[in-house]
Amino acid sequence: MIDKYNNSTGEGGPVSSVVFRLDPRSGVPTYLQLVQQVENAIRLGYLQRGDQLPRIKDVVVSLSINPNTVLKAYRDLEQKGLVGAHPGLGTFVEAAPETVGLPELTTLRRSLVTGWLREAAAAGLDEDGIAALFTSALLDFSNRSEERRPTRRPRRVVLDETGGAA
């Protein structure tokens, strides 16, 4: 989960617009949870090109984790071309894939929550059961033949001539 709040300037300079949350029960390594949260926030349009990620020391303090964990996550994101570290300034989103607009995502999310998820819970599935069923259905959907799959917008990062994000 990643929370977004209004970007403001405090005494220490710009404040990041995201807050990380960890799930110690997930079995997913901490650094990978951070990577996944940033990737999802970018994919869903919560983070856009130019947005600053939280400073490493702020993440360390707020989550009580090792600085090397945050460094590893940010390095992974940098190797993927999603963010760039600017010494003395921070780490910023440098690439953002084309995505569905936030109003459309909000509508889709609302219909998922009030429709299918509510029905699954009423049928007696717990969170793990819902996740397993959804994952299975998503896999079936992904395995459908290309002719039958609905057309969708490409989700890609556009690179400039130097290989950097445009």
Domains delineated in the chain: 2-93 (1.10.10.10), 102-142 (no CATH)
Give 62 or 145, the one with higher predicted confidence: 62
Query: What number is the average pLDDT over the span 122-146?
Result: 83
The pLDDT, as a whole number, for residue 133 is: 87
Q: What is the pLDDT of residues 69-116, one digit of tens each?
A: 999 999 999 999 999 999 999 999 998 777 677 788 788 889 888 888
Q: Residue 149: what pLDDT?
A: 52
pTM: 0.63
Q: What is the mean pLDDT of residues 1-16?
A: 45
Q: Could you report the per-residue pLDDT of 19-30, keeping only the tens digit for each?
A: 899 999 989 999
d(CA 153, CA 43): 13
38 falls in which pLDDT band (50, 70, 90)?
very high
- CA–CA gap between residue 150 and residue 16 (Å, rounded): 37
